[in-house]
Amino acid sequence: MSILRLRGREFGPGEYAVMAVVNRTPDSFFDRGRTYGFGAALEAVAQAVEGGADIVDIGGVKAGPGETVDAHEEIRRVADLVSAVRERHPELIISVDTWRAEVGDVVAKAGADLLNDTWGGVDPGLAEVAARHGVGLVCAHAGRVEPRTRPHRIAYADVVADVVSYTVELAERAVAAGVARESILIDPAHDFGKNTFHSLEVSRRLDEMTATGWPVLVAVSNKDFVGEALGGLPVEERHAGTIATLAVSALQGARVFRVHDAASARTALAEVTRLARPGA
């Protein structure tokens, strides 16, 4: 497996990075706008760092359907926050969740270290932006759907094979565009262009992704498939399922974990490390 390098830090095989979610959106499925305010978002970053986050992932657009947010508004929500976080936390790895090259260019200039493209390369210019600024890139599988849509009755002959082939293709394309190989991650993007059965299958067979050698990011925190798999639990009752899925993913070699509760994830991953150690 390769070493992941972001902002001068290295994460080798068996080393886990916690990525905390901070949404500057008024309609997030999880926090419902709790961190939309600028001050609230800054405080959430500080709490995540205190809880052990290595990376903070800042988002300005709700993933699911909702109010239209154009590039100008997305920039308004995230660019100044990135600048402020960089000033307050000089060593922190800052990620921005965006699929737009225009937004990526602005936030990279503001201090972002990683562009988290959860919608699977719908804007090919984003990789070029990452290359130009020398920042990292997340290459995700979203079923080739339009951003912020929930496709009806999506199907795959083999969802894991599709995920692996598509994310590796995106990663190699990013390298060809000039993005540093050691700063690229691949992400199965649970629930994006997938139903619950697809997301569970990806979780069971995540080792097929990690076997590619690319560092794998998993973003499963409180997602719908976790709730549905546990009998239809609402968002506020999915924490235990989230932690269990993180542990299964870590044991299969995932490297970065995007979560809403950095402290709990850090504790769980420390225990996974201890249990996986020979003779533990």
Give pLDDT, residue 279. Answer: 65
45 contacts 96 by C-beta, under 8 angstroms: no
Give pLDDT, residue 1. Answer: 67
Comparing 28 with 232, the larger pLDDT belongs to 232
User: What average pLDDT score do residues 270-274 get?
Assistant: 94
Give pLDDT, residue 276. Answer: 84
Structure tokens at 122: 């719908």
Structure tokens at 82: 């990135």
User: What average pLDDT score do residues 127-147 get?
Assistant: 97
Give pLDDT, residue 106. Answer: 98
Whole-number Å distance between alpha carbons of 29 and 60: 13
Whole-number Å distance between alpha carbons of 251 and 238: 20
Give pLDDT, residue 152. Answer: 84
pTM for this structure?
0.96
Mean pLDDT of the chain: 96
Q: pLDDT-derived band of residue 183, with 50, 70 and 90 as boundaries?
A: very high
As a whole-number percent, the residues of the chain with pLDDT over 90 amount to: 91
Q: Maximum CA pair distance of the chain? A: 54
Structure tokens at 133: 């600024």
Give pLDDT, residue 144. Answer: 92
The residues facing 44 across adjacent strands are none
Looking up tokens 């972002």 gives 112
Q: Looking at this protein, which amino acid is placed at residue 255? A: R
The residues facing 21 across adjacent strands are 57
Provide the residue ranges of all domains of the chain, joining segments of one domain with +.
13-276
54 contacts 15 by C-beta, under 8 angstroms: no
15 contacts 255 by C-beta, under 8 angstroms: yes
Sheet holding 184-187, edge to edge: 184-187, 136-140, 114-117, 93-97, 55-59, 17-23, 256-259, 217-218
Give pLDDT, residue 94. Answer: 98
Q: With 90 as the cut, is the pLDDT of residue 240 above it?
A: yes
User: What average pLDDT score do residues 212-228 get?
Assistant: 97
Give 227-237 pLDDT, tens digit per residue. Answer: 999 999 999 99
13-276: CATH architecture: Alpha-Beta Barrel (3.20)
- How many Cβ atoms sit within 10 Å of the Cβ of residue 29? 15
